[in-house]
Structure 1
Amino acid sequence: MTPTRWRSARWDRMPVGRKILLMAFVAVRISLTVSALVDLADRPAESVRGKKRTWALAIVGVDIIGPLAYYWRGRSADPTTGPPAPDPVDPTATAGRAGEPIRG
């Protein structure tokens, strides 16, 4: 490639539309990687196909394909082995200030 081609790729000379597209692409990459790592960390080892360490390296090291592969093939299809469901809302819980009972 010629040096002028490389200079045209500088941020200050890049068209606005290309900047927006590049920022959106980077945001998707980061959010996919972070969400896959958080899901992997929260998920018990029994509900992951393969070793968690291997999936963590694939998620971080293989750019967009790593997180997508983890979501597609790395998680177990068995819903009973996934992360525990949140507890149902307790009707005796407090609202507002700490310790103040709910009045109804």
Structure 2
Amino acid sequence: MSKPTDSKRRWSDLSPAQQGAVIAVGALQFGLQAFALRDLKRRPARQVRGPKPAWAAASFINFLGPLAYLRWGRR
């Protein structure tokens, strides 16, 4: 029997351009989430559509959560 090949890609398998793209997308995601959480913390509850804890939890959903809060969560 032959061993199954490990099909998972490792960081070292990526080209420098791909590594840079992963870092850039990760930084963008982190920045969006940080901005959304900071805005949510500073904004009065009456200026937020829905419960603030729910929006805080939603901000942990990659890209979709912070963008949804910034688009629909603020009054």
Higher relative contact order (CA 8 A, sep 6+): 2
Which structure has the larger Rg?
1
- The letter for the 2-side match of 1:66 is G
- The letter for the 2-side match of 1:28 is L
CA distance in 1, matches of 2:6, 2:45: 51
Residues 59-92 of structure 1: per-residue CA shift (max 9 Å, x gap): 12x121000000000000xxxxxxxxxxxxxxxx
C-alpha deviation, 1:4, in angstroms: 4.3
C-alpha deviation, 1:31, in angstroms: 0.3
* Structure 2: segments with no counterpart, 5+ residues: none
* Structure 1: segments with no counterpart, 5+ residues: 77-104
CA distance in 2, matches of 1:12, 1:63: 24
Partner of 1:57: 57
Partner of 2:41: 41
Q: Normalising by structure 1, report the TM-score.
A: 0.65
Partner of 1:3: 5
CA distance in 2, matches of 1:18, 1:48: 38
1:63 alignment partner, SS class = coil
CA distance in 1, matches of 2:21, 2:41: 30
C-alpha deviation, 1:30, in angstroms: 0.3
1:50 alignment partner, SS class = coil
Q: Normalising by structure 2, report the TM-score.
A: 0.89
CA distance in 2, matches of 1:57, 1:70: 10
Number of residue pairs matched? 72
Partner of 1:70: 69
CA-based RMSD of the aligned residues comes to: 1.2
Answer 1 or 2: which has greater helix percent.
2
